[in-house]
Structure 1
Amino acid sequence: MIGPAPVSDAARNGIWRTRITAQARDLSRSTQFVIAAALILGLTMFFVGNLVSVGIENAAVQSAAEAGAQYMDTFLEPYVQEMSRDNGLSAESVQSLDRLTQSRSLKQHIVSIKIWRADGTVVYSTNKAITNHKFPLDEIREALKGNVVTDLKDLDEDENEFERELNLPLYEIYAPLRDSSSGKIIAVGEFYEKADSLKREVNQVREQVWVVVGAATLAMLTLLFFIVRRGDKIIQQQQVALRLRLQEQTRLHISNAELQRKIATATQEFSRVNELTLRRIGADLHDGPAQLLTLILIRLDDLVENCSAVDQESLETIRGAATDALREVRDLSRGLALPEINDLSLVEELQLVAQRHEQRTGTKVTLNLARLPKVAPLPLKLCLYRFVQEALNNAYRYANGEGQVIQAQYSDDVLNISVRDRGPGMAADAMLLEKSGRTRLGLAGLRYRVESLGGLFSIDSCASGTSVNAQFKL
Structure 2
Amino acid sequence: MAKNAKAESENQTFTARQAEAQDEPAPVGDVNRNGLWRTWIRGRARKLSHSTQFVIAAAVILGLTMFFVGNLVSVRIESAAVHSAAEAGAQYMDTFLEPFVQELSQDNTLSAASIQSLDRLTESRSLKQHIVSIKIWRADGTVVYSTNKDITNVQFPLDEITEALKGKVVTDLQELTQDENVFERQLNVPLYEIYAPLRDSRSGKIIAVGEFYEKADSLRREINRVREEVWGVVGAATLAMLTLLFFIVRRGDKIIQQQQVALHLRLIEQTRLHISNAELQHKMATATQEFSRVNELTLRRIGADLHDGPAQLLTLILIRLDDVAENCTAVDQESLETIRAAATDALREVRDLSRGLALPEINDVSLVEELQLVAQRHEQRTGTKVTLTLGQLPKAAPLPLKLCLYRFVQEALNNAYRHANGEGQVILAKYIDGVLNISVRDSGPGMAADAMQLEKSGRTRLGLAGLRYRVESLGGLFSIDSCDTGTSVNAQFKL
Relative to the length of structure 1, the TM-score reads 0.95
Q: Deviations over 1:131-164 (max 9, x none)?
A: 1112214121111111111010211111111111
Deviating more after overlay: 159-168 vs 129-138: 129-138
In 1, the alpha carbon distance for the partners of 2:457 and 2:477 equals 22
Kept in 2, the 8 Å contact 1:415–1:472? The answer is yes
Kept in 2, the 8 Å contact 1:417–1:469? The answer is yes
1:328 aligns with 2:349: yes
Match of 1:288 among 296, 305, 309: 309
1:97 aligns with 2:118: yes
* Deviation of 1:43 (Å): 1.2
Identity %: 87
* Alignment length (residue pairs): 469
* Deviation of 1:462 (Å): 2.2
Question: Who is 1:3 aligned against?
Answer: none
* Deviation of 1:15 (Å): 1.3
1:223 aligns with 2:244: yes
1:365 aligns with 2:386: yes
1:452 aligns with 2:476: no
In 2, the alpha carbon distance for the partners of 1:207 and 1:33 equals 29
* Deviation of 1:438 (Å): 6.0
Kept in 1, the 8 Å contact 2:145–2:153? The answer is yes
Q: Name the aligned partner's letter for residue 268 of structure 1.
A: Q
Please give the secondary structure, in 2, of the residue aligned with 1:87: coil
Please give the secondary structure, in 1, of the residue aligned with 2:144: strand
Relative to the length of structure 2, the TM-score reads 0.91
Match of 1:111 among 129, 132, 151: 132
Kept in 1, the 8 Å contact 2:140–2:158? The answer is no
1:194 aligns with 2:199: no
Q: Deviations over 1:93-129 (max 9, x none)?
A: 1111111111111111111111111111111111112
In 1, the alpha carbon distance for the partners of 2:489 and 2:455 equals 17
Q: Deviations over 1:410-454 (max 9, x none)?
A: 111111111112222222221348998666221111111011111
Deviating more after overlay: 405-414 vs 212-221: 212-221
Question: Who is 1:244 aligned against?
Answer: 265
RMSD between aligned alpha carbons? 1.8
1:461 aligns with 2:490: no
Match of 2:86 among 65, 75, 78: 65
In 2, the alpha carbon distance for the partners of 1:438 and 1:415 equals 32
In 2, the alpha carbon distance for the partners of 1:343 and 1:433 equals 40
Question: Who is 1:46 aligned against?
Answer: 67
Question: Who is 2:367 aligned against?
Answer: 346
Question: Who is 1:272 aligned against?
Answer: 293
In 1, the alpha carbon distance for the partners of 2:107 and 2:84 equals 33
Match of 2:196 among 151, 172, 175: 175
Kept in 2, the 8 Å contact 1:77–1:178? The answer is yes
* Deviation of 1:7 (Å): 8.2
Q: Which runs of 5+ in 1 are unaligned?
A: 1-5
Kept in 2, the 8 Å contact 1:433–1:444? The answer is no
Q: Name the aligned partner's letter for residue 423 of structure 2.
A: E
Deviating more after overlay: 9-18 vs 85-94: 9-18
Distance 1:326 1:162, change over 3 A: same
Q: Name the aligned partner's letter for residue 28 of structure 1.
A: S
Question: Who is 1:389 aligned against?
Answer: 410
Kept in 2, the 8 Å contact 1:139–1:149? The answer is no
Please give the secondary structure, in 2, of the residue aligned with 1:340: coil
In 1, the alpha carbon distance for the partners of 2:281 and 2:429 equals 27
Question: Who is 2:76 aligned against?
Answer: 55
Runs of 4+ in 1 over 3 A off after TM superposition: 431-439
Kept in 1, the 8 Å contact 2:141–2:157? The answer is yes
Q: Which runs of 5+ in 2 are unaligned?
A: 1-26
Distance 1:38 1:385, change over 3 A: same
Question: Who is 1:159 aligned against?
Answer: 180
* Deviation of 1:226 (Å): 2.2
Please give the secondary structure, in 1, of the residue aligned with 2:211: strand
